[in-house]
Amino acid sequence: MRKNMIRRWLNLFRARASSPQFILTVVLLSVLAYLVLVPLYGLAERTLLWHAADTRISRNIEPGTITVFHWKNILSGRISGSFFYKPLLNTLLTGTIAALIAMLLGSILSWLVTRTDLPGRSWLKTLLTLPYIIPAFAIALAWETLFRNPNIGGQPGFFQVVFHVPPPEWLSYGPVPIIATMVIHFFPFALLLVSGALATIDTQLEEGAELLGAGRWTILRKITFPVVAPAIMAAFVLTFGRTIGTFALPYLLGGPIRYYTLSTMLFTSLKMGFEPIAYVLGIILIIITSLVVYGSNRYLGKNLRRFETVGGKGFKGEPTRLGQWRWPVFSLVGMVAFITAIFPLILLTYQTLMLVRGRFDLGNLTLHFWVGTSNPNIAHGEPGVLHNPIILGAIWNSVRLSVLSSVISAILGLVIAYLVVRNHKSITATLLDQISFLPFLFPAIAFGAMYLSIFATRQGPIPALYGTFTLLVVISVVKRLPYAVRTGTSAITQIGLELEEAAEIEGASWYQRIRKVVMPLATSGIVSGMMVTFVGMMRELSLIILLITPQTRVLMTLGLRYTEENQVQLSNALVLLVTLITIFGELIVWWLGKSRLSRLRENQMAGKKG
Amino acid sequence: MGVMIKIKNLTKKYGKVTALDRVNLTIDPNEFLVLLGPSGCGKTTLLRSIAGLEKPDEGEIVIGDQIVFSADDGINVPSGRRRVGMVFQSYALWPHMPVYENVGFGLWLQKVPRKQAREHVDSVLQDLDMAGLGERYPSELSGGQQQRVAVARLLATKPPVFLMDEPLSNLDARLRLDMRSELKRLHYQLGVTTVYVTHDQTEAMTMATRVVVMEGGRIQQIDAPQQIYRKPANIFTAEFVGMPRINTFPAKIHLQNGTSWLEIDDINIPLSWNPGQKEATAAIRPEDILISTRPIENSPEFHVYAVLPSGPEMYVQVRRGHRIIMVRENRQLDLQMDQPVWLKIDPAAVNLYDSQSGLLLTSENKRTA
């Protein structure tokens, strides 16, 4: 009996350990552990060690020994106010207010463009999602162009040229512009979330109330709102979560008057050489984000699910008639769309065409910054975009980075998704799922700090990767992995298990099944995910800003450098370039999603299992 | 052609749910065995265990002379090496491959030369009336054609065991009827051991050489279709098989003048044997009851509750007090609502079940009082 049991377990183990899926899971698990857990540990460890630079505090310090000094220093030391509590307060303040306004604006607009007879609502909806696609950096630059304040130095902004008085400082820099630009950047996110919920409400719910004699306002208040309320809450929480990690907006619009948030403080302390402070802030950022994600998952997960049965057929009923308000509301919504989506792009474009900054007359227009060659009288001799080797190099790097990271993360995400979906009961697969989700909890700049802390030096057999292009690709792939796994998961779940089993019964090995069945069917599903990553990496700034060296510059970081050097025309040109590429990429994504072929295939794949 | 399949003590648990509970079953070569039961009864798990798509916790499966699964010896032959073919409920046609690639996939895996494989696939398609459709993609075929492609995939490699998981459930009623005869014909021609899963009892009755009724992971009865219908081994099978549902009653049994009498409410039916116990559950099929519009012996008065004509026959529900009885009449009777009627029950067709165990009482297993 005993011998029997041993033989049984031995056989089972042998079958398990030799299965290619198990081996792959274990390999991926160790690679990801190295790329996610080790840097996280490294970052945490460095907050608890004396650094070489700390010897300036006291000569008795021995670098490398353990201390809680940095934590104490930040949480209760002399510098805690300016390095931690104020930035924390600023982060929470700007984030909360911006998320609140974005939620309100997004919800109202989404109701208008999905459930009423507003003229041109589908066009308006597309237009209103544009600010989310435009890099936050671009919105910040546009704001600056409009409200630049001479107190900071430099040339006047558009506001001053028109009104002949400088704008008040609170409108140029600090919390107000940060909140305003955050709202512009994030309200489309709320709009998309809430319209998704609105679109799935079964209008019979509302019609039922109407038959009972309820008025339009009563229906909206008693039926529609409670049903989409969880989505509206989700919009708030998720937007808030995103504002915590934003870097470009507070950096450009708060930096000039030393208004810091946690993420810009992290960046600034690194730049000033206060590494331990930056690392502690990184850990704090990760903790805050994790709390938000955990809380929202717990609370929203429950509440979103509660209304899931409501989904129903998503039957489209009659839209609400706006009556005499139709055209006034249209002009209002149209104006919002113009101000948030189109006007910033016009401003940016106009700025790139100005020979001398701050002179908005037509005689000042030039194409020099696009097509001109080096002229020592203009912009310290920096040639225009098309002739500037640095910019051309950055374009090449941007494209290379985006293509590589989108392809690699898509494939990796698909493989992980496959292993997780098809082995959902195995512990190793579950572990793999969780570890690949972890980067979702790291605000981009904190993740950058993690890699900076670990890969600046040689790690065992792996040489110091800091300054290499490879490191940029690695961090981009890992950071995008949670999204890629999610896209991969939906692609894999759409491939009915029976399709694979049918091949298995015919005698196909795992590799043959992957090659002949899974890969061909999943491709159409992950291509759009790949495009999303491509677009995301094109406009990525905070993730890589700490890891960029002159050789590995990309468009966004170069744009930031030009901004810091006050070469506004060039920085605007670069950001505009990124914007155009991302809009073009989004169009491709949209077109892919719409294509008839992909839908046909999905129908077929979903199977008709009853 | 076909091979024997032996299943010993097969058990499979999903967490706390027992999908298969010590199932023992021997399937003869050339048999058309149907696994019948409500959803969640374990029939699909059993089929998938034979296919090797599911790994049981306990027991043994032997296909032909090969032990393909044995929990004790840690044997689990991958499904590709079990020499079985399967038709899935969704057909599982690969949407990115044209028909001939779908059908020829197994041949490609067996490294059959391309030209030879193509010829073989063409002849299989020809046999199934699908000639000329080889270049089409599955989404360009009708439901019935997709079903045939799934069958063609079996025929291309012709394994000695065919497994079918509700293969006709996605077809419309008419096509389903046609395909039933075709599958039956195919089985007759090839003589391949076929295990067929369905929840549709008509399908089970019409196609099977033997039916296995399952419930709660256990086999309830294994028998020829007629036997399943006429002599259900327990209450579950009696109630599950047959449309409209069988009538069941709590009944008393008493002896009078040397004859056993079955007493259902105030209906008295003479039995030809003595069940040997005082109480039982009586089960009577609706067609074993006749309606009389005039009073007859041993029957109290009933009233017509509902009349449901259905083409060649009619279903009549009659009521007495709170009890409603379903009758299937072949005659076209002119019945009015609430009209008084009397019932004549065929004593030979009444099955008696032990009220506690739910098992069929026969003259062999009766309890000697």
Over 70: is that where the pLDDT of A309 sits? Answer: no
Q: Which residues of B touch A8 (CB under 8 A)?
A: 71-74
User: Residue B105: which of A7, A503, A603 has the nearest Cβ?
Assistant: A503
CB-based contact B72 A4, cutoff 8 Å:
yes
Per-residue model confidence (pLDDT) at position A28: 92
Per-residue model confidence (pLDDT) at position A48: 86
Closest chain B residue by Cα to residue A505: B80
| Whole-number Å distance between alpha carbons of A529 and A487 | 6
Q: Which residues of B touch A518 (CB under 8 A)?
A: none
Per-residue model confidence (pLDDT) at position B112: 92
Residue of A251, A248, A241 lying closest to A285 (CA atoms):
A241
Per this entry, what is the length of chain B? 369
Give the pLDDT band (50/70/90) at residue A3: low
| Whole-number Å distance between alpha carbons of B206 and B179 | 12
| Whole-number Å distance between alpha carbons of A518 and A540 | 31
Per-residue model confidence (pLDDT) at position A301: 64
CB-based contact A505 B51, cutoff 8 Å:
yes
Three-state SS sequence of chain B: CCCCEEEEEEEEEECCEEEEEEEEEEECCCCEEEEECCCCCCHHHHHHHHHCCCCCCEEEEEECCEEEEECCCCEECCHHHCCEEEECCCCCCCCCCCHHHHHHHHHHHCCCCHHHHHHHHHHHHHHCCCCCCCCCCHHHCCHHHHHHHHHHHHHHHCCCEEEEECCCCCCCHHHHHHHHHHHHHHHHHHCCEEEEEECCHHHHHHHCCEEEEEECCEEEEEECHHHHHHCCCEHHHHHHCCCCCCEEEEEEEEEECCEEEEEECCEEEEECCCCCCCEEEEEECHHHEEEECCCCCCCCCEEEEEEEEECCEEEEEEEECCEEEEEEECCCCCCCCCCEEEEEECHHHCEEECCCCCEEECCCCCCCC
Phi-psi region of B359 (alpha: psi -120 to 50; beta: other; left: phi over 0): beta
Edge-to-edge strand ranges of the sheet holding B247-256:
B267-271, B259-264, B247-256, B279-284, B351-353, B360-361
Per-residue model confidence (pLDDT) at position B203: 92
DSSP A356: S
Per-residue model confidence (pLDDT) at position A594: 65
Chain A: closest CA distance from residue B209 (Å): 25
Residue carrying the six token digits 């069929």: B360
Q: Is the ipTM of this complex over 0.90?
A: no
Low-confidence residues in chain B, pLDDT < 70:
1, 365-369
Average pLDDT over residues A317-331: 81
Give the distance between the most distant pair of CA atoms in chain B: 82
User: Residue B105: which of A9, A506, A601 has the nearest Cβ?
Assistant: A506
Check the CA dihedral B200-B206-B207-B212 and report its sign: positive
CB-based contact B170 A517, cutoff 8 Å:
no
Q: Which residues of A touch B142 (CB under 8 A)?
A: none
Give the pLDDT band (50/70/90) at residue A453: confident
| Whole-number Å distance between alpha carbons of A317 and A204 | 8
Q: Which residues of A touch B139 (CB under 8 A)?
A: 600-601, 603-604
3-state secondary structure of A298: helix
Q: Which residues of A touch B75 (CB under 8 A)?
A: 11
Sequence-separated (6 or more) residues with CB below 8 Å from residue A270: A278, A449, A452, A546
Q: For the segment B300-331, what is each residue's pLDDT rounded down to a tens digit?
A: 899 999 999 988 899 999 999 889 999 999 99
**Burial of A299: CB neighbours in 10 Å, binned 0-12, 13-18, 19+:** middle
CB-based contact A608 B84, cutoff 8 Å:
no
The tokens describing B40, both together, are 């969640």
Over 50: is that where the pLDDT of A422 sits? Answer: yes
Per-residue model confidence (pLDDT) at position A609: 35
The tokens describing A50, both together, are 């004396």
Sequence-separated (6 or more) residues with CB below 8 Å from residue A248: A135, A136, A137, A140, A541, A542, A560
Q: Which residues of A touch B176 (CB under 8 A)?
A: none
Per-residue model confidence (pLDDT) at position B67: 95
Q: Pairing between strand B5-14 and B17-27?
A: antiparallel
Per-residue model confidence (pLDDT) at position A323: 79
Q: For the segment A37-62, what is each residue's pLDDT rounded down to a tens digit?
A: 988 888 888 888 887 777 777 777 77
| Whole-number Å distance between alpha carbons of A441 and A289 | 6
Check the CA dihedral B247-B249-B255-B261 and report its sign: negative
Q: Which of A217-226, A484-493, B53-62, B84-93 has the lowest mean pLDDT?
A: A217-226
The tokens describing A566, both together, are 């006050």
CB-based contact A520 B74, cutoff 8 Å:
no
Q: For the segment A581-596, what is each residue's pLDDT rounded down to a tens digit?
A: 888 887 877 777 666 4
**Are the C-beta atoms of B351 and B232 separated by less than 8 Å?**
yes
Per-residue model confidence (pLDDT) at position A444: 85
**Are the C-beta atoms of A444 and A245 separated by less than 8 Å?**
yes
Over 60: is that where the pLDDT of A310 sits? Answer: no
Average pLDDT over residues A472-478: 92
User: Residue A520: which of B73, B96, B157 has the nearest Cβ?
Assistant: B96
Per-residue model confidence (pLDDT) at position A321: 77
3-state secondary structure of A49: strand
Give the DSSP H or E segment for A86.
helix A86-115
Q: Which residues of B touch A15 (CB under 8 A)?
A: 74, 76
Per-residue model confidence (pLDDT) at position A152: 67
Closest chain B residue by Cα to residue A520: B96
Closest chain B residue by Cα to residue A5: B72
Give the pLDDT band (50/70/90) at residue A314: very low
Chain A positions with Cβ closer than 8 Å to B: 4, 7-12, 15, 496, 498-499, 501-509, 512, 516-517, 520-521, 600-601, 603-605, 607-610
Per-residue model confidence (pLDDT) at position A527: 79
Q: Which of A205-219, A237-251, A460-474, A579-593 has the lowest mean pLDDT?
A: A205-219
CB-based contact B92 A610, cutoff 8 Å:
no
Closest chain A residue by Cα to residue B55: A12
CB-based contact A11 B52, cutoff 8 Å:
no
Q: Where are the beta strands (DSSP E) in A250-320?
A: none
CB-based contact B139 A603, cutoff 8 Å:
yes
Type of residue at A62: E
CB-based contact A501 B79, cutoff 8 Å:
yes
Phi-psi region of A411 (alpha: psi -120 to 50; beta: other; left: phi over 0): alpha
In whole angstroms, what separates CA B176 from the centre of its chain?
Answer: 15
User: Residue A498: which of B76, B84, B90 has the nearest Cβ?
Assistant: B90
Chain B positions with Cβ closer than 8 Å to A: 51-53, 71-76, 78-82, 84-86, 88-90, 92-96, 105-106, 109-110, 138-139, 153, 157, 169-170
Sequence-separated (6 or more) residues with CB below 8 Å from residue B315: B244, B286, B307, B308, B309, B326, B327, B328, B329
CB-based contact B74 A502, cutoff 8 Å:
no
Helix axes B143-157, B173-190, angle to 10 degrees: 10
Give the pLDDT band (50/70/90) at residue A379: low
Over 60: is that where the pLDDT of A602 sits? Answer: no
Residue of B77, B43, B36 lying closest to B60 (CA atoms):
B77
Per-residue model confidence (pLDDT) at position B245: 92
